[in-house]
Amino acid sequence: MANSNLKEAKAAKNDEFYTQFHDIEIEMNAYLEYDSNVFRGKTVLLPCDDPEWSKFTRFFAAKFDELGLKKLISTSYAPDSKKYKAPYQPSMFEQEAPQFDSAKTCVKGKIFVLEQDKSGDGRINIDDLEWEYLDGDGDFRSKEVTKLRDEADFIITNPPFSLFREFLAWIMEGGGGGGGNY
Ligand SMILES: C[S@@+](CC[C@H](N)C(=O)[O-])C[C@H]1O[C@@H](n2cnc3c(N)ncnc32)[C@H](O)[C@@H]1O
């Protein structure tokens, strides 16, 4: 019993593993070597993410113009829904935003969108990221995230390992063999 609890705790902790910037760079460079315009005019969805931790969002935001992206969407999972419970404190980025809501911060997922030059500095980058709370907790299987899946040309993420099969099924159901690239 103790052993199975330990295994569950380990699996839950593994679900929170965040990918290193360098590893993302290596992986994405392989796509770009194959076709330097692979992301041009495309919408990229990063589900199971969290820009406050994720290097995926930082990578694509930093290269938004260079890659010629049309839109970057990233969704995060609500802290209270995570299997692995760690002390949670909303970031300054979230707390200082006018839309910050202390009743939602633990129970709602978030959506981050990068599409236009909001800051007016002539570039589209992380400073132009807009966000709001999702209606639900950001579960990739929810209706609202599934709708984003269907809007995207590319879905890129390191999913929660314990839900890998379900995640793959969700991708395939969205037309993994169709127009999308996952
Ligand atoms: C392995 S981490 C990877 C995070 C990020 N994609 C990266 O690679 O840096 C998986 C993330 O998915 C979140 N997650 C767990 N279950 C989820 C679910 N059902 N729907 C959406 N996200 C989930 C976890 O809380 C965690 O933040």
Of ligand 1's atoms, which has the minimum distance to the CA of residue 142? 20
User: Domain count of the chain?
Assistant: 1
CB 131 within 8 A of CB 111: yes
Kindly report the protein residue whose alpha carbon is nearest to atom 9 of ligand 1. Answer: 18
Q: Is residue 50 part of a domain?
A: yes
- Express each pLDDT in 130-165 by its tens digit: 999 999 999 999 999 999 999 999 999 999 999 999
Residue 4 pLDDT class (50, 70, 90 cuts): confident
Q: Is residue 181 part of a domain?
A: no
Relative to beta strand 110-114, strand 71-76 is antiparallel
Q: 150 Cβ partners below 8 Å, 6+ apart? A: 174, 175
- Mean pLDDT over the full length of the chain: 92
Of ligand 1's atoms, which has the minimum distance to the CA of residue 46? 6
Kindly report the protein residue whose alpha carbon is nearest to atom 26 of ligand 1. Answer: 16
Q: Is residue 123 part of a domain?
A: yes
Q: Is residue 156 part of a domain?
A: yes
CA trace torsion 106, 111, 112, 117 (10° rounding):
-130
Percentage of residues in the chain having pLDDT higher than 70: 95
Place of tokens 């909303």: 90
Q: Is residue 65 part of a domain?
A: yes
Relative to beta strand 154-155, strand 110-114 is unpaired
Q: 73 is in which domain, residue-wise?
A: 2-173
Q: For a pocket test of ligand 1, which of 16, 48, 146 has the largest count of ligand atoms closer than 8 A to its C-beta?
A: 48
15 CA → ligand 1 middle, Å: 6
60 lines ligand 1 (CB under 6 A): no
Q: Is residue 182 part of a domain?
A: no
163 lines ligand 1 (CB under 6 A): yes
